[in-house]
Each structure stands twice: as structure tokens, then as C-alpha cells.
A and B are shown apart, each in its own frame.
Chain A
Amino acid sequence: MFTQQLLNALTLGSVYALFALGFTLVFGVLAVINLSHGAVFMVGSYAALTLVTRLHLPLGIALPAAMALSGCLGMAIDVLILKPLRARNAPHLIPMIATIGVAIMLSSAAQGIFGAEILRFPEGTIPAGEFTLGEVHVRALELSIVGISFGLMAVLFLAIRRTQLGRALRAIAESPRSASLLGINVEGLFHATSFVAAALGGVAGVLIGLNFNAITPLMGQPILHKGIAVIILGGMGDIRGALLAGLFLGFAEVMSKAYLSSQMGDAVAFGLLFLILLVRPSGLFGRVLERKA
């Protein structure tokens, strides 16, 4: 029973981590709390659904396509909205409010186009295989979700640690002005970061849509709250922290639902969060990142 819950926690936690990774990446590099990340997550999931039902594409193609689509959406938000605000040097509250406007637009567009009811993937499109390992029941779907999440996160990690691009990103996170003085194309990397972050958010949307097989226009809201919790817990802008905190939150949620009341578990999680912020404002795993530019 416990190992079964552990598997559920790993599945949920890996998707939380994937979602929060994009969220924290945007905060770390662009210094913006992007509240449209939940809406992009929702768009990714509708995009995959449409590709599967209308164009009859297999999931293996629909998933990367939905990822690219949500990435483009993220980049469009950056170019059309966040860039002019950066150019004006607006205080950080302002871009956050602009992204709220975007989130409202996207979720009501989805509601207008697809309706408010719960949509599901048609039968046969979700990998149905399953096997039993000892007393644990493993679905192929869960295995692919965990595999895809960790695979994407590993790629991102390596890219940020090892490549020239990653070094440039870390330089921008320290100080955009010094980075641009060093000849780094800061604007270009802002766009690229927005693309990558939104693509990760979109994939997370598809994976959650598959896992629960339920897609609604408002599915981005609860995960946005969890994303906020994860990036606080992990330290704002901290990528490794987002991974650990995402897994931790998935674990806490599944276990509290299984062994405590389902609702008070959330209160404990947010209460813990509140306390952590008071004791360690930089998060459990984070270090204080003061932007000097």
C-alpha cells in the first residue's frame, strides 16, 4: 500500500517539479512572477487533445507539438507584453499584473472555444499497459510520465550547467546589465527562456491531462498555487530547489490525502510554507539572490 502511494507521489511530484521548473526559470532570469504559467499549462493540454482528436495524431507526435505550441505562446507573451514593460523599467508588480490579464484571456478563450465541461482523451490514445511488481501496480502511463519529466529536467540541468547558453543564463540571473556588458544577447535569451519555460509548462499540462484524463479551462489555477508553493519552498529562482520541492510537495499531497483528511493537508502545507518563509526567506534549499543591477 505504502509503495503504491510512493509511486503515485513520484508521478505527481515529477510533474509538479516540471511545472515549477519553468516558473522558477522565468523568475530567476526575467525576475517576473509569471502568473500566466498556469494558463499556458492549460493551453498545452488542450493543444495535445485537439491534435489527437481532430488531426488523429498519435500521442508521440502530439506531445512534442503541444510543447512547441505552448513554447511559442510563452515567447509571444514575452515579446508582446513583458518586453515593453522591461524597456520601461516597470516595477516588478506591473509585469505580474499583466500576466494575470493574459491568464484571464487564455482561460476564457479556452472556455469559449471548448466549453466549460471536462474533456477527455479518446479511448485507446493513452498507453494502457500495466504490470505488477511485487504488490505495486504500475501503469505504463505513470512510468512514461515519470520518464518524460525526469528526462526533460535532466536535459535542462545539463544545458544550464554545461553549455555556453547555460552560462549566459546564469550570468543574466546574477545581473542582466553586467551580462549585456559582457556581450551576451540578453533580450534574445529572455525570449529563449520564456520559450523553454512555457514549453515545460505545456508538457506538464499534457502529462497531468493524461494522468487524470480530465481537461478543463480552469485546470491551471490549482497547479499555479502549487507552483508558487514549490518555488518558495525551493528558493525563488533556484532550479535544483524547484526539483526537490516539487517532489516533496507531490509526496506531501499524496500522503496527506491517503492518511490524513484531504483538505487539512493543504493547510498544513501552506502553514509550513509560511513558517519557512519567516525562518528562511530564501527557501529550504535556496540561497539569497540579491539582484544588484
Chain B
Amino acid sequence: MEWLANFWATYSTLVYSVGVFALMALSIWLTLACGLLSLANAAFMCIGAYVSALLSLHAGWPFGATLAAAGAAPALVALVIGMPTLRLSGVYLAMATLAFGEVVRIVVLNLEVTGGPEGLNGIPQSTTGWHILAILAVVVYGLLRLQRSRVGRAFEAIREDEVAASLMGINVARHKLFAFVLGAVIAGLAGGLNAHYTFFISPREYGFENAVDILTMVVLGGIGGLAGPMLGAAIITLLPELLRSLHEFRGIVNGLILVLVVLFLPKGIWDPRRLRALFGLGPGRDPGC
């Protein structure tokens, strides 16, 4: 079992990252499920990470309490900025949330208490694999229940046609806000977990590139269900490691894979219907097409 211990010593951070980014992918998936294209989730992760790290470092809160704060703080922010922002739709919403993300990043970069560009150092490493697994399991279970609930069906109706949904008596604004805030809670939790195993956080980890990375995970994996975003998170997190032997050219392969998936697998990698067809179980075609 020595190789396992070695493996774990080298790669445990990587495995943790897969879990945390699976949470991030699920948080964006949730907003997308309600038809919102939001790029603010990296900023919510940032808020969660900094709030929990500061509480651990300066206030000496226990890990559980800092995690709760990591979920609550971004939720409050999302509530405040969500009310005016969610009136925008499509590309405009994406741009507004992107601008909000940049504001958060630059403010964190310049505040005294957040350590500026150097970030925060020496955060206690309280996160274990079990914490991540447990929170991931709770989130997945919660989202599965949500999908099958009245609220989940309302999300789907809003995504398909907002006007029709509101004519059916669905309160569109309130449902959108709920999806946005819940997404922020999940992203904040991911940030809190992330801060407590990497030992060190800096504003560089929560910029525009990261917001786009997380979105890419969801599209790559597939937005049809919960498995897709998690698979996408695993692939995007692990791919640079797997391609390490290609040295500086690994980015080319990385980008190429992204382009090829978008071109040839329109519904993402995890597409249950296509997989069933591949293994000869049942019809593979869309019945409607």
C-alpha cells in the first residue's frame, strides 16, 4: 500500500480540486438550468474563500462555522446584486456579472485586510476529503430533489420560454433570484473548502479566466443532468496533469480537445441518450427529430 500513500501525498490536492470544481460546475449548472448565463460564480467563490479564511485566521472560528459563513456571505451579496441585475438577459447578463466579478477581484486585490496581491497565507488546513465528499453528496442530493420539485419544473419552464412561464403563473423574477442565490451559496462553500486545503489564496485564482473555465466544465460535460458538470470538472482539472509530458505544447492539446468536443459532441460528453445508443441499449435518436 506504499504506492497508494505516495500517490495520495502527491495527488491529494488534485483530487480535492476535482471535488471543489465539481461543486463550482454544479453552481453554474443551477443558474443555467434557470436560463441564466452568469459569470459571477467565480466571484462568489472568491467571497466565500476570503470570508472563511479571514474568520479562521483572525477570529479563530471553528471550521464548521467558517464554512457556514462561506456559504452565507456570497448569498447575501447575490441577493443584493441579483435584484437589479437579473432583469438583464442573455449576453447582457453575462457581461454585467463579468463586470461584477472584475470589481470583486480588483477590490480584493487592493484591500489591506485581504493581503492585496500576495493574498492570504497560512490558512489552517482543515478540509479533508470527507468534508468535500459530504458537501458534494448533500448538494447533489439537494439538486436532484430540486429538479423533481415544483421549483425545478418552474426553472425548466423559465429556461424554455420566459413569457410562457410567467403566463402560467410562475413568478419569474423570484425563481431567477432563488437560482442565483442558491448558486452563490454552493460557489461560496466551494470557496471555503478550497481556502482550507490550499493553505494559501490570492485574487489571481478568481478572475475572468476562472469564471470561463468553470463555464467550460459545464458545457464540456453536458448540461442535461448533474453528472455532466461533475465529469466536465474532473476532465478540465485533470487534463493539464495528464498532458504534463507534452510540456509547453500541452495547452495546444487542451484547447484542441475543447474545440473538438464543442464541434462534435453538441450535448457535451455526458449525453445519456447517445451513451445508451453506443452500448446498444434502446433507441439513440431523439424521438422528436
Contact = CB atoms under 8 A, between A and B. Distances in A.
Interface of A: 33, 35, 81, 84-85, 88, 90, 92-94, 97-98, 100-109, 111-112, 221, 225, 228-229, 232, 236, 261, 263-264, 266-267, 270-271, 273-274, 277-278, 281
Most A-side CB within 10 Å, residue of B90, B100, B263: B263
A107 B251 contact: yes
**A-B pairs, 5 with minimum CB distance:** A108-B251, A101-B258, A105-B255, A104-B255, A267-B106
B274 interface: no
B255 A35 contact: no
A278 B92 CA distance: 9
B263 A98 contact: yes
A114 to B, nearest CB: 10
B170 interface: no
Given A264-B106, A277-B88, A270 B99 contact: yes
Interface string B247-272: 11111101111110011001000000
A111 B106 contact: no
Contacts of A225: 102, 208
A105 B259 contact: yes
A181 to B, nearest CB: 25
Interface of B: 37, 84-85, 87-88, 90-92, 94-96, 98-100, 102-103, 106-107, 109-110, 208-209, 212, 215-216, 219-220, 247-252, 254-259, 262-263, 266
B255 A102 contact: yes
B92 A281 contact: yes
Contacts of B258: 97-98, 100-101, 104
Contacts, number: 119
Given A263-B110, A277-B92, A270 B262 contact: no
Nearest to B216: A97
A267 B110 contact: yes
A211 B258 CA distance: 34
Contacts of A93: 37, 215, 219
Contacts of B249: 108-109, 112
A278 B106 contact: no
Given A112-B249, A273-B99, A277-B96, A94 B262 contact: yes
A228 B209 CA distance: 13
Contacts of A88: 266
Contact of A92 (B91, B110, B209, B266): B91
A231 to B, nearest CB: 9
Contacts of B100: 274
A105 B256 contact: yes
A192 B209 CA distance: 29
A263 to B, nearest CB: 5
Contact of B90 (A90, A92, A109): A92
B89 to A, nearest CB: 9
B99 A277 contact: yes
28 contacts: A84-B263, A92-B91, A93-B215, A97-B215, A101-B262, A102-B255, A105-B251, A105-B254, A105-B259, A107-B251, A108-B251, A108-B255, A111-B248, A112-B247, A228-B98, A232-B99, A236-B95, A263-B106, A264-B110, A267-B107, A271-B103, A277-B88, A277-B92, A277-B95, A277-B99, A278-B85, A281-B88, A281-B92
